[in-house]
Structure 1
Amino acid sequence: MVVPPWLSVPPPGYGGLEQVVAGLVDALVGRGHTVTLFGAGPHHGTRGSYVTTCPDIQYDRLGESLPELAHLAQVRHLIGPADFDVVHDHTTIGPLVAGRRAVPTVATVHGNPVGEYGIVLSDTDRGVGLVAISHTQRRLNQVLPWVGTVHNALDVVDVPHKTEPGRGPVLWLARFSPDKGPDLAIRACRAAGLPLILAGKCNEPAERRYYEQVVAPMVDEDVTVVLNADRDAALRMLVDARCLIMPIQWDEPFGMVILEAMATGTPVVALNRGAVPELVLPGVTGLVCGRPDDLPDALRQAGGLDPAACVAHVAENFSTPRMALGYEAAYRDFLSAGAPAAAGRPVSVAAR
């Protein structure tokens, strides 16, 4: 299992990819597989073995290409067919360089496969199979070498949840970006007459600039701002919240915060973009709106939804064991189809 060098697994705060990988590693180990996680930094919190390619996580260099390339170059020298049956890559550049590996690679696409990222993915080596994290994401670029679609997951056992509807403020929990619609969240909550907490990641230059120039001037006494909350603080806010508001302005391929909210028993009010319709059960675990003008009424209605139904929806449809089964099927389908790097040797996905 190969992750980017930016954050530890699981992450201390923001980091949906790393959170998903931590759950996947543990679930695969629980099913009897031998899993080795390749990352950066000295620490990890999974049940798998761990190999670090760099003594420090590289978050301060996020956005540069060389840290990830150096990480992947070292990974290539550390894996071989005598030790591994399949490589599962979660990096951005991985699909381009995986053809040099002696072991077949399945790569999860964590972003939208269009634009510049789509160009990169279109040059994916023929020895790599791509996995989508939602049907919406896969439809955006259907010509890529997809080998499966597996939804992200969350283990509800590890998430505190409520048994009665939350009476706290509406919560917006994301990074400060126009794509995430914090300005729409403020307007919708004011129109609904409900207080709002804006809990945002705000440590990259673009995030700070957007917050200072667009969001901060809109903040008044009805809006509480919490910057860069860690995971424990975020979960406490989710448990207390009346609902989570997701007024996204882009085709988000998944949205882990939606699962986190429902796992705490908190319903989700979201605009109908990206994978939202695949995650939220309208009228049961939240409300999906076609226009920003529909958000205020939905925010008022969300307070009456049953927290237990939200938790059950995640447990039944987005559990880490279910995700592990999905990836097992993707591995087997890819290898049985004759992945080039696997030619001439027996194939097994079972633990050694």
Structure 2
Amino acid sequence: MRICLVASARFPVAEPFQGGLEAHTATLAHALADRGHRVSVFAAPGSDPSLDVEELDVPPFEPSAAARADVGAHPDAWMREHHAYLALMLRLARGGQSRFDVVHNNSLHHLPVAMAPMLSVPMVTTLHTPPLGWLESAIAMSGGASTFAAVSRHTAAAWSRAVQAEVVPNGVDTSRWQPGPGGGRAVWTGRLVPEKAPHLAILAARRAGLAIDLAGPVLDADYVRREVEPLLGDDARLVGHLHTDALCDLVGRAGVALVTPQWDEPYGLVAAEAMACGTPVAAFARGALAEVVGVSAGRLARPDDVDDLARAAREAVALDRTAVRDHAVRHCSVQRMVTRYEELYARAESPTQPAEAS
């Protein structure tokens, strides 16, 4: 099958990944190609060329002086992203049917959904976030031109007022995220931003009597300076923004992975990655984490309760690492995810075929 995979225009799909969406896109593209599909990824400049990337890079849009003077003018970054997706969708409308059998919209932008009725190629859109107003508007006006998937039951339920989405949980490459030996330190991975709350992971690890390493990109420097840096020391180290192989090694050598969202996590990819390494998870019970973290693979804590997270960490450390890994292989593998997407692509091509029960 010839697949057009539409990715983010904001961050490149390249190591080290800026976040779960970019890591997910790369994993999906490689796994589809491994199954014999021809995949073209439309992504931000600087993306991994091994993905057969066509960059979402168009001549810069420069609004006129009069447009810039408008008190309601959008920021330049917003306009650049809008312009890139508009150019892509017009290209697909003019000639997409000669190049592709299906378009998989893996972006968070509203234009691919809003312009789906213009295409002669079926579109599948994955919902990666809680409901967004501009996407709900695009869904309402697109007349069912896209087939929708959601990355968890929680996310599907959150979007149910706007659209009925089939649940296709995210997956990790369990051949790359290999089991590690464990160790005496905890680990936290992800974007260093307030909604991921790494500062709470440090506090919980200390109360559990554990040292902790934190890895990920600093996307809110003011937050990190204010909330994270004052807590750092020998027992709490910020080790940087790591490539996947180094991240696998770090996570595999940890005794427990802490996951501390202060928002309703749509899936929880970092939890799945940790479990694939055999590292048990202690997480706030927010969003889809209760779906991802099995009782044999981790412990959940009351949201935002540092003492309860410390309790969960102490309990999780004692779990059998082989059972943790087995849970990830059974429930969080990329192969399981790709099979579900192949089924969804086939149904999008033949929309009269009844959907199978999830």
TM-score range, shorter chain: 0.7 to 0.9
Corresponding residue of 2:215: 199
Corresponding residue of 1:15: 19
Corresponding residue of 2:72: none
Is the Cα–Cα contact under 8 Å of residues 95 and 125 in structure 1 kept in the other structure? no
Alpha-carbon deviations, 1:157-199, whole Å to 9, x = none?
Answer: 112322x4x2231111122222212222122112112112222
Query: Which segments of 5 or more consecutive residues in structure 2 lack a partner in the other structure?
Result: 60-74, 354-358
TM-score (norm 2): 0.82
Residues 114 and 5 of structure 1: is their aligned pair in 2 closer, same or farther, counting only changes over 3 Å?
Answer: closer
Match of 2:225 among 212, 217, 220: 212
Matches within 5 A, 1:58-73: 64-73=78-87
Distance 2:143 2:23 in 1: 27
Is the Cα–Cα contact under 8 Å of residues 16 and 241 in structure 2 kept in the other structure? no
Corresponding residue of 2:341: 327
Corresponding residue of 1:347: none
Residues 62 and 270 of structure 1: is their aligned pair in 2 closer, same or farther, counting only changes over 3 Å?
Answer: farther
The one-letter amino acid paired with 2:347 is D
Distance 2:35 2:262 in 1: 38
Distance 1:200 1:37 in 2: 24
Distance 1:10 1:149 in 2: 26
Distance 1:55 1:313 in 2: 44
Distance 1:237 1:255 in 2: 18
Corresponding residue of 1:290: 302
Residues 237 and 330 of structure 1: is their aligned pair in 2 closer, same or farther, counting only changes over 3 Å?
Answer: same
Is the Cα–Cα contact under 8 Å of residues 88 and 107 in structure 1 kept in the other structure? yes
Corresponding residue of 1:179: 195
Distance 1:9 1:219 in 2: 30
Greater relative contact order (CA < 8 Å, ≥ 6 in sequence): 1
Distance 1:321 1:126 in 2: 28
Alpha-carbon deviations, 1:4-56, whole Å to 9, x = none?
Answer: 2234445433332232222222333333333322224365355x644334399
CA RMSD of aligned residues (A): 2.7
Alpha-carbon deviations, 1:56-91, whole Å to 9, x = none?
Answer: 9xxxx9962423532442354154223322111112
Distance 1:80 1:155 in 2: 30
Matches within 5 A, 1:41-56: 41=45, 43-44=47-48, 46=50, 49-54=52-57
Is 1:85 the counterpart of 2:101? The answer is yes
Is 1:311 the counterpart of 2:311? The answer is no
The one-letter amino acid paired with 1:313 is H
SS at match of 2:294: coil
- TM-fit CA distance, 1:106: 1.1
Is 1:267 the counterpart of 2:285? The answer is no
Corresponding residue of 1:343: none
Residues 72 and 320 of structure 1: is their aligned pair in 2 closer, same or farther, counting only changes over 3 Å?
Answer: farther
Is the Cα–Cα contact under 8 Å of residues 13 and 46 in structure 2 kept in the other structure? no
TM-score (norm 1): 0.83
SS at match of 1:186: helix
Corresponding residue of 2:266: 253
Structure 1 moving runs of 4+ over 6 Å: none
Is the Cα–Cα contact under 8 Å of residues 22 and 45 in structure 1 kept in the other structure? no
Distance 2:223 2:135 in 1: 23
SS at match of 2:78: coil
Matches within 5 A, 1:231-246: 231-246=244-259
Residues 31 and 221 of structure 1: is their aligned pair in 2 closer, same or farther, counting only changes over 3 Å?
Answer: closer
Match of 2:186 among 157, 166, 170: 170
Corresponding residue of 2:153: 135
Distance 1:251 1:42 in 2: 30
Is the Cα–Cα contact under 8 Å of residues 111 and 253 in structure 1 kept in the other structure? yes
Distance 1:168 1:64 in 2: 44
Residues 168 and 197 of structure 1: is their aligned pair in 2 closer, same or farther, counting only changes over 3 Å?
Answer: same
Match of 1:30 among 24, 27, 34: 34
Distance 2:135 2:53 in 1: 29
Corresponding residue of 2:118: 100
The one-letter amino acid paired with 2:57 is C
Distance 2:188 2:336 in 1: 28
Distance 1:187 1:49 in 2: 43
Residues 221 and 32 of structure 1: is their aligned pair in 2 closer, same or farther, counting only changes over 3 Å?
Answer: closer
Is the Cα–Cα contact under 8 Å of residues 106 and 331 in structure 1 kept in the other structure? yes
Is the Cα–Cα contact under 8 Å of residues 172 and 244 in structure 1 kept in the other structure? yes
Is the Cα–Cα contact under 8 Å of residues 14 and 230 in structure 1 kept in the other structure? no
